[in-house]
Amino acid sequence: MAALLLRWLVAFLLLALTYNPTPWNYVRWAISGWDSQTPMVVLAGLLLFTGYAIYLRATLRSIGPFGMALVAALVGALLWVLVDWNVIRLDDPGLNTWIGLLALSLVLGVGLGWSIIRRKLSGQADIDDVDD
């Protein structure tokens, strides 16, 4: 369980570092600091891009586009239920951004941790192809 939580948390941090409704995110820093801190902006952008490449490649390999859409649909349906039951409201743009970040991080976290989830549910281990 801790391994899945860690994978989700890293996905959430990756997304939140890139953009969030606070002033503390890469997009706003890159826009304001491009002229004075170009090398740092490029380095940070490449680090974030590397994180996205790892997460997206692993997610696409493990659950594929259909699985990503299915997880997103499940998260969307859950949000719909929460809104319908008046547990959350969607009239705050900042909250909507955090909810979007949470939803996307769940998709990436499930994708990266799918082998763990599958092993827990089925008792079978996955073996990836290994190039010799």
Where along the chain do its domains lie?
2-122
Sign of CA dihedral 113, 111, 55, 34: negative
pTM here is: 0.87
Per residue of the chain (132 residues), give pLDDT as tens: 788 999 999 999 999 999 999 999 999 999 999 999 999 999 999 999 999 999 999 999 999 999 999 999 999 999 999 999 999 999 999 999 999 999 999 999 999 998 888 888 887 766 654 444
Helices vs strands, H then E, count in the chain: 6, 0
Nearest to 19 by CA among 74, 114, 111, 93: 93
The C-alpha torsion from 111 through 114 and 126 to 61, rounded to 10°, is -10
- Taking the alpha carbons at both ends of the chain, their separation in whole angstroms is 32
In contact, 75 and 25? CB cutoff 8 Å: no
